[in-house]
Amino acid sequence: MSVIDELFQANHRYATARHPHRLPLPPARKVAIVTCMDARIDPAGILSLAEGDAHVIRNAGGRAAEALRSLVISQRLLGTRAVAVIHHTDCGMLTFSNQQLTTQVKAELGADASGIDFLPFSDLEASVIEDVRLLTDSPLLEPQTPIRGFIYDVHSGRLTEVGIPAMAASGT
């Protein structure tokens, strides 16, 4: 049996055991979380979120530039009013450059990925600051949106808030 088959069967068990209920479309706590797709991160668990509490937007590295489209939809159409950006220790995005990955894709697949910015970073704290600044300065998000950045330690399970220099903290 393939892993996809196993997941499909698990869904059947979940749906059978689930009590029918209707959650409203907008998230109850009016917050969006931008974080990494790393399987070691359980946003609901680390933030004590219940089903329906928040929008959780995940991508490689938890990069804000890639999440902006979803954040605009989250705010404009679904009423979120705060954003938490969460990057994490031991992140794979710290291990490569665009050139390295482009070269690997070319060597292994024969495909040209040179037009893609994979958004790697070499400094974890700086990447959080960069992403909070990008969102704070974006004209596409509600002015005065509280936007805060954190680093999640995958070993201890603790969040540490990243201090954002005052000049970029207008929305925090």
Range 32-48 average pLDDT: 98
Does 62 fall in a domain? yes
> How many domains is the chain partitioned into structurally?
1
Does 77 fall in a domain? yes
Does 11 fall in a domain? no
124-157 pLDDT, tens digit each: 999 999 999 999 999 999 999 999 999 999 999 9
Residue 167: what pLDDT? 56
Range of the domain at 76: 27-168
**Alpha-carbon distances of 63 from 93, 112, 121, 127, rounded to whole Å:** 10, 22, 10, 8
Residue 22: what pLDDT? 83
Does 68 fall in a domain? yes
Does 22 fall in a domain? no
Query: Residue 67: enclosing H or E segment and its boundaries?
Result: helix 64-78
Give the Cα separation of 73 and 69 in Å (integer).
7
Does 21 fall in a domain? no
CATH code for the domain in which residue 52 is found: 3.40.1050.10
Range 49-66 average pLDDT: 97
Of residues 57 and 170, more confidence is placed in 57
Does 103 fall in a domain? yes
Strand 54-59 and strand 31-36: the pairing is parallel
Does 10 fall in a domain? no
**Alpha-carbon distances of 18 from 7, 11, 12, 15, 22, rounded to whole Å:** 16, 10, 10, 5, 12
Range 14-30 average pLDDT: 87
70-106 pLDDT, tens digit each: 999 999 999 999 999 999 999 999 999 999 999 999 9
Please report which confidence band the pLDDT of residue 23 belongs to, taking 50, 70 and 90 as the band edges: confident
> pTM of the prediction?
0.90
